[in-house]
Chain A
Amino acid sequence: MARQGYDGVVLAAPFTEPYTRFSNETAHWWIARALRGSLRAAGLTPRDIDGFAVASFTLFPDTPVALTQHLGLSPRWLDSVPMGGASGIVALRRAARAVQAGDAEIVACVAGDTNPIDGFRKLLSAFSRFSLDASYPYGYGGPNASFALLMDRYMTEYGASRADFGHIAIAQRDNALRNPHALMKKPLSLDDYLTARPIAEPIALYDCVMPCAGAEAFLVMSEDRARALNLPFARISGTIERHNAFADDPIQLRGGWAVDVDELWQMAGMGPPDMDLVQTYDDYPVISALQFEDLGFCPKGEGAAFLAARDLTITGDLPHNTSGGQLSAGQAGAAGGFIGLTEAIRQVTRTAGPTQVADAARALVSGFGMINFDRGLCSAACVLEAPS
Chain B
Amino acid sequence: MTQPLAPPPKKNPARRTPVPTLPPAIRSRAALGLALAAAQGRFQLQTCTDCGAVQYPPRDACHRCLSTALVWQDQPRGAQLLAETTIHASPDPYFRERLPWRAGTVQLDAGPVALAHIHGDVARGARTRTALMLDRAGQGVLVALPEQETPHMQDDPALRAMGTHPSHRRILITDARAPEAPALTRALLDAGAAHVFLGLAERWRPFPAQPTLEAMKNVTLHPLDVTDADSVIDLAGSIGGKVDILINNARHIRPGGVITGTIHDASDALQKGALGLMRLAHAFGPALSARGADGVNSAAAWVTVLPAQSLAHDPGFAASTAAGAATRALSLSLRAELRAGGIRVLHVHAGPIDDDWHQPLPPPKLAPNALARAIVQGLEQGLEEVHAGDVARDIAERFAQNPALLAREMEGGA
Contacts and interface: CB of A to CB of B under 8 A. Distances in A.
A and B touch in the complex (CB under 8 A): yes
Contacts of B91: 120-121, 124, 141-142
Contacts of B116: 138
Interface residues of A, number: 39
Nearest to B141: A137
Contacts of A135: 115
B26 interface: yes
Interface in B73-131: 82-92, 95, 98, 101, 103-105, 107, 113-117, 125
A138 B115 CA distance: 8
A133 B115 contact: no
B241 interface: no
Interface stretch (A12-20, A148-156, A182-190): A148-156
A308 interface: no
- Interface footprint category on B: 35 or more
Contacts of A139: 23, 87, 90, 92, 95, 98, 101, 103, 117
Contact of A201 (B57, B85, B90, B98): B85
Contacts of A120: 91
Given A134-B56, A141-B92, A250-B107, A200 B24 contact: no
B88 A198 contact: yes
Interface in A107-142: 120-121, 124-126, 129-130, 132-142
A250 B112 CA distance: 8
A267 B264 CA distance: 88
Contact of B84 (A129, A152, A197): A152
B104 A149 contact: yes
Contacts of A203: 85
A141 B27 contact: no
B89 A200 contact: yes
Contacts of A146: 115
Contacts of A144: 87, 89
B88 A201 contact: yes
B297 interface: no
Given A137-B141, A199-B89, A153 B105 contact: yes
Given A141-B95, A153-B105, A251-B82, 20 more contacts: A125-B92, A129-B28, A133-B28, A134-B57, A137-B23, A139-B103, A139-B117, A145-B87, A146-B115, A148-B87, A149-B104, A153-B82, A198-B86, A200-B89, A201-B86, A203-B85, A247-B63, A250-B105, A250-B113, A251-B105
Pick the 10 closest A-B CB pairs, nearest first: A148-B85, A141-B90, A134-B57, A133-B31, A121-B91, A153-B83, A139-B95, A149-B83, A139-B101, A152-B83
23 contacts: A121-B92, A132-B26, A132-B28, A134-B114, A137-B24, A137-B139, A138-B116, A139-B95, A141-B87, A141-B89, A141-B95, A144-B89, A145-B85, A145-B87, A146-B115, A148-B85, A149-B84, A152-B83, A200-B89, A250-B107, A373-B57, A374-B113, A374-B115
Interface of B: 23-24, 26-28, 30-31, 34, 56-58, 63, 82-92, 95, 98, 101, 103-105, 107, 113-117, 125, 135, 137, 139, 141
